[in-house]
């Protein structure tokens, strides 16, 4: 089963979902803004992505700027905590297939793990 961490308000996330649906694969759609991602799951996703929190945080979001998450003394744990509290900060979509995950930017990139 393939899982997509999806935000229906995001055009890239919608495009990725359309790609997945066109492949007729068993799909688990997680509306992560509603379901919320806890720190353990976020750490697991980062491991599968092979990325750090800093690499998937949305820097243009108001919460990122308001919380001053670009300060030099901000560490990985603080970024994770902010992403758990404010899930809009998590880049989207994230698609997981087994032990592999990818950020669907551009959406066609998800094909690499199918």
Q: Which is catalytic among the residues 2, 6, 9, 10?
A: 10
CB atoms within 10 A of CB 46: 19
Query: Any catalytic annotation for residue 84?
Result: no
CB 2 within 8 A of CB 8: no
For residues 95 and 111, what is the distance between their CA atoms, to the nearest angstrom? Answer: 10
Query: Rounded to whole angstroms, what are the CA distances from 9 to 12, 31, 32, 48?
Result: 9, 10, 12, 25
Q: Which residues are catalytic?
A: 10
């Amino acid at each position: 089963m393939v899982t997509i961490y999806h935000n229906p308000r995001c055009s890239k996330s919608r495009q990725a979902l359309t790609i997945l649906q066109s492949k007729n694969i068993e799909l688990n759609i997680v509306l992560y803004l509603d379901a919320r991602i806890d720190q353990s799951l976020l750490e697991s996703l980062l491991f599968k992505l092979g990325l750090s929190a800093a690499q998937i945080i949305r820097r243009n979001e108001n919460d990122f700027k308001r919380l001053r998450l670009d300060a030099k003394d901000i560490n990985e744990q603080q970024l994770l905590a902010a992403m758990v509290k404010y899930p809009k900060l998590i880049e989207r979509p994230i698609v997981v297939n087994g032990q592999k995950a990818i950020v669907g930017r551009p959406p066609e990139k998800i094909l690499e793990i199918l």
